[in-house]
Amino acid sequence: MGPRRLLAFPGFRRLLYSRFAAQWGDGLFQAGLAGAVVFNPERGASPLDIAAGFTVLLLPYSIVGPFAGALLDRWDRRRVLVGANLLRGALILISAACVALGVGGAALLVLALVAVGVSRFVLSGLSASLPHVVPVRNLVEANALAATLGAITAVIGGICAVFLRGLFGAGNVGSGLTIGIAVLGSVLAATFAVRFARGALGPDEVDEPAVAMLAVARGLFDGGRAALRAPTVTAGFVALFAHRAAVSISLLIAVLLMRYSFTDMGVLRAGMPGLGQILAAGALGVLVAGLTTARIVARLGRRRTIILALMVAAATQAGLGLPMLLPTVILATFLIIYAGQVIKLCVDAAVQRDVGDEARGRVFALYDTLFNITQVVAVTLAATAVPLDGRAPDLIIVATALYLLGLAGFLLLSRRPAR
């Protein structure tokens, strides 16, 4: 079924519009916060400050994510979507006021941490509600459409933050105003969600949340055992671990280079506009991977595709990362994000194909948790070694070595017999 026919379902349209509004606001809020912390002339951003910012963006997905799905199986999802969006809107306004008044440090990071954690509930609620608005036979197409367009909408939100900072100014007040605009996404998302009837988005059966939390905690261990029994999944996890760690190091270096080292080169920009171009390059990599991965896998097979992607990523790190020039950094962003997304799509397919349905959700929950924690650890360790100007060829070599180690681990584990 094509996108036009999917949009014929009114519930799907409403849920899609709510997702677009929520993810646009997320993109604007996160990019605006990054601009306020990293590219604000009234604040000095150290590598550890930037690492703390990455932690704010990733840790809620690691901690909240596995429990969000279980709680959403117990609470009325319509009520969760409305309430979580309104709560997030309030947190965005408070964060914006803090930025405008020059408040920083732990207080601002905690506010942002909670706001992003609430966003996780929103996105999980939207995904869990999908089977209630489209026929089961169309879930794959509907999920692909919603996820792809939602990711692109989030990037558009980030680009809007770049534009608004240019309009309002890069100082505390301008940054605060930019962040405050993100509340529109939360309000619109809640407005679309409230139009559903009570109970229309599920769940069909309701249990106590405390039981859900205990079940999820146990489920993470069950997911680990299920992943270990499938060699393709275990090997894929190693490949994706390597990518997530390496790309975190590279992104930290790129942000510091944009902030302290690069200058504009024609249409290529440094500073906050340069961060917008990096976001656009990464989004293009995700889009191209979505369009080409199936064809590559059909020709080479999933195992060879992952091997090729790891080799491309390693070559890109060394060949385009080491020069540390503005054009090569943007091109490297596209190629590395492209290769990483190819790996992710192959690993997703391995979980969907080689893990039993009774354990698949728990494997995905473990997957999400461990990989985001890997990124937090990698960027924090890199922040302790990278110079302020971002010129760290030794860390680029470390990132390249991580891809090669991931390749070695993948080759070794993918030949292990299934248990």
CATH number at residue 125: 1.20.1250.20
Establish if 294 belongs to a structural domain: yes
- Separate counts of helices (H) and strands (E) for the chain: 15, 0
Q: In this structure, what token pair is assigned to residue 367?
A: 């997957």
Establish if 317 belongs to a structural domain: yes
Question: What letter would DSSP give residue 197?
Answer: P
pLDDT digits (tens, 9 = 90+) for 167-202: 999 888 999 999 999 999 999 999 999 999 988 887
Rg (the chain; Cα; Å) = 21
Residues 142 and 234 in one domain: no
Instruction: Tell me the DSSP string of 24-67.
Output: HHHHHHHHHHHHHHHS-TTS---HHHHHHHHHHHHHHHHHHHHH
Establish if 218 belongs to a structural domain: no
Domain carrying residue 92 = 1-213
Rounded to the nearest integer, the mean pLDDT of the chain is 84
Establish if 314 belongs to a structural domain: yes
Establish if 338 belongs to a structural domain: yes
Establish if 161 belongs to a structural domain: yes
**Alpha-carbon distance values, 278 to 91, 128, 271, 357 (Å):** 27, 31, 11, 37
Residues 18 and 52 in one domain: yes
Residues 310 and 416 in one domain: yes
Residues 376 and 417 in one domain: yes
Q: 213, 239, 274 — which closes off a domain?
A: 213
Residues 236 and 207 in one domain: no
At residue 214, the pLDDT reads: 64
Residues 260 and 166 in one domain: no
Residues 137 and 236 in one domain: no
CA 330 to chain centre: 19
Residues 263 and 315 in one domain: yes
The Cβ of residue 174 has, within 10 Å, a number of other Cβ atoms equal to 22
| Contacts of residue 236, Cβ cutoff 8 Å, sequence gap at least 6 | 306, 343, 346, 347, 350, 351, 410
Establish if 91 belongs to a structural domain: yes
CA 126 to chain centre: 16
- What torsion, rounded to 10 degrees, do the Cα atoms 185, 361, 406, 308 define? -80
At residue 208, the pLDDT reads: 46
At residue 125, the pLDDT reads: 77
* pLDDT digit string (tens) for the chain, length 419 residues: 566 777 888 899 999 999 999 999 999 998 898 888 776 665 666 788 778 777 777 776 666 656 665 566 667 889 989 998 999 999 999 999 999 998 877 788 778 878 887 887 787 778 778 778 888 777 657 766 777 788 889 989 998 998 998 899 988 899 999 999 999 999 999 999 999 998 888 776 554 445 555 666 665 666 677 777 778 888 999 999 999 999 999 989 998 999 889 998 988 988 888 888 998 898 889 888 878 888 898 899 889 999 999 999 999 999 999 999 999 999 999 999 999 989 988 887 787 677 765 566 567 667 777 887 888 899 999 999 999 889 999 999 999 999 999 999 999 998 766 55
Nearest by Cα to 330 from 388, 408, 255: 255
Instruction: Tell me the DSSP string of 208-225.
Output: -HHHHHHHHHHHHHHHHH
Residues 92 and 69 in one domain: yes
Establish if 219 belongs to a structural domain: no
Cα separation, 1 vs 267, in Å, equals 40
At residue 357, the pLDDT reads: 55
Q: 181, 213, 245 — which closes off a domain?
A: 213
Residues 38 and 125 in one domain: yes
Nearest 5°: CA angle at 17, between 16 and 23?
A: 90
Q: In this structure, what token pair is assigned to residue 353?
A: 């194909």
Nearest by Cα to 376 from 68, 56, 104: 56
Residues 209 and 295 in one domain: no
Q: Tokens 């007040």 belong to which residue? A: 173
Whether omega for the bond prior to residue 131 falls within 30 degrees of 0, making it cis, is no
3-class DSSP state of 268 = strand
At residue 77, the pLDDT reads: 84
**Alpha-carbon distance values, 116 to 42, 85, 216, 329, 418 (Å):** 24, 11, 21, 28, 38
The tally of domains found in the chain comes to: 2
Q: In this structure, what token pair is assigned to residue 16?
A: 């899609």
Nearest by Cα to 254 from 312, 153, 310, 327: 327
Q: 179, 213, 247 — which closes off a domain?
A: 213
Judge contact between 318 and 396, C-beta under 8 A: yes
Residues 199 and 247 in one domain: no
